[in-house]
Amino acid sequence: MKSICLFFQIHQPFRHRRYRFFDIGNDHYYYDDYSNESIIRNIADKSYLPANKLLLELAKKLGDKFKVAFSITGVALEQFELYAPDVIESFQKLAKTGCVEFLAETYSHSLSSLRDINAFTDQVKKHDDQIFRLFGQKPRVFRNTEMIYSDEIGEKVAKLGYSAMLTEGAKHVLGWKSPDFLYVNAINPRLKVLMRNYKLSDDIGFRFSDKNWDKHPLTAEKYVGWLEKVGEKEEVINLFMGYDSFGTRQPKEAGIFDFLKALAEQVVKSDKLKFSTPSEAVDELQPISVVSVPHPISWSDEERDLSAWLGNEMQKEAFEKLYAMKGQMARCTDAVLQKDWNYLQASDHFFYMSTKYFADGNPHKSYSHFDSPYEAFINYMNVLSDFKIRLNAHVPESEVENEIASLHRLLEEKEEKIKKMEADLRRLQKTKKQKTTLRKKK
C-alpha cells in the first residue's frame, strides 16, 4: 500500500508597524498589534478552527487509520496564545487523539540555516521546547523554513539528532526520479529525506477553486483515483501545503472542507492507500537512493530557489546587516532584545522586499502589508537601526561604544536619581502645605 503523508505548515509573523526614521532611538516598540491580532483572529475563524474541528471529527471516526502532521512556527504559537487561545486548545485536543505528529522548525520561520549555525541551533531548540510544552511531543522530523534544503543543511539537521527532513521534490534536483520514494542525505545517509509531490499538493492548495483549471471541479473521488494511479512501485506520496489553504486561500464556499472530509474517508477505504505520519513513513520504508542537492532549494516560485527572500540587493543587504549582529547577540542576556532578535529573523521581512511581481500570479505583493518592496526595505532597516543602538548599549562592540554605553547608563542612573529627588520634593512640599493649613485653622 502507498503511504499518504498529509502535512500542513502554519506560520504567522509579528508584523512591523510603520516605523519612521524619526522613531529611531526614540521608540523601541516595532509591532503593529492591531494588524497582528485582527489577522490572527480572522484566519483562525476562517481556517484553523473549522479545519481543526473537522480533523478532530475524522480522528474520532477513523481512529488510528487517519494521520496528519503539522509544522507550526513558534511566533505563530505565541500569537495564538495572545490573540486566539482557542486555536491552541483545538490543537491540544488533536494531539491527544494520537493521530497527529508535530514537526520541528525554526522558531521564527527564519533563514538562519543559510547563515549561522548557532542562531539556527538556538531557534530549533527554542521551537522544540515550545512544542513539548504545549503538546507533549518531542519532534523527530524536521521541516525547515519554506522547505529550504541542501546537502549541507541536511547534515546540520542530522547532527541535531533528527531522523528525517521534509523538502520540495524539485524537478531540477530529481530529474527523471520520482518524489514518491524515501531518499537519504548525500553527506549523512542517516538523515532520511521526504520530498513533496508538488503537483498533487498544489492541486489542492492552489488550484482547487480555480474554475479555469481544466480539472475543475476537483472531487475526492477524482483525486483518490489520481493517488491510486501513481506508479505501482511508488511508496509514499507527500502532500505538503499551507494550512490556510483550507478556508482562506480556498474558501469554505468552494467546498474545500467537504473535500477534505471525503478525501480522508476514501483514503481509509482504499485497498491501495493508507495514511502515515512522516515518522511512520521513515520507520516503515527503505530509502531507494541518495538525493544530491548541492545548492539550496525551497518550495517557492517556479525556480524553487531562494530568490523570493534573497533575490535582490535590498534583501541581501538587510540579511547581511541582521546577521552581522550575531556575535553581539551571542553575548546578549537581555530578554527583550532576544525576543526582538528572534522576531527580526522571520523570513517574511525579506519576502516583503521581493521584486518578483511577475512570478506565480503575483503572490509576493498580495502577502505584504507594505505598498512596495522598497517601503518594506526602508521600514525594516529603520527597525534594524534602532535595534542596533539598543544592542550596542547592552553589548558594546568596541571601546568607543563601551564608553558610550557607560555614559548612557550613567545618564539613566542620573535620570532615576532626579526623578526620585523630584518625587521627594513634591512629597515634602505637600507635607509642608498640610502643616501650614493646620496651623492656620488653629
pLDDT by residue for the chain (442 residues), tens only, comes to 999 999 999 999 999 999 999 999 999 999 999 999 999 999 999 999 999 999 999 999 999 999 999 999 999 999 999 999 999 999 999 999 999 999 999 999 999 999 999 999 999 999 999 999 999 999 999 999 999 999 999 999 999 999 999 999 999 999 999 999 999 999 999 999 999 999 999 999 999 999 999 999 999 999 999 999 998 899 999 999 999 999 999 999 999 999 999 999 999 999 999 999 999 999 999 999 999 999 999 999 889 999 999 999 999 999 999 999 999 999 999 999 999 999 999 999 999 999 986 444 454 455 788 999 999 999 999 999 999 999 999 999 865 555 665 566 667 677 777 888 788 778 888 877 777 777 766 5
Does pTM top 0.75 for this prediction?
A: yes
Contact 218/202 with Cβ under 8 angstroms? Answer: no
Burial class (CB in 10 A: 0-12, 13-18, 19+), 29: exposed
Q: What is the pLDDT of residue 356?
A: 85
Is the omega angle on the peptide bond into residue 217 within 30 degrees of 0, that is, cis? yes
Cell of 305: 530557489
Q: Give the contacts of 366 (CB within 8 A, at least 6 positions apart).
A: none
Q: What is the pLDDT of residue 408?
A: 63
Beta pairing, strands 289-291 & 141-143: unpaired
Active site residues: 146
Radius of gyration of the CA atoms of the chain, in A: 26
Q: What is the pLDDT of residue 368?
A: 84
Report how far residue 195's alpha carbon sits from residue 169's, in angstroms, rounded to the nearest whole number: 5
Report which of 130, 128, 196, 134 is spatially closest to residue 162, judged by C-alpha positions.
128
Report which of 153, 166, 148 is spatially closest to residue 299, judged by C-alpha positions.
148
Q: What is the pLDDT of residue 427?
A: 81
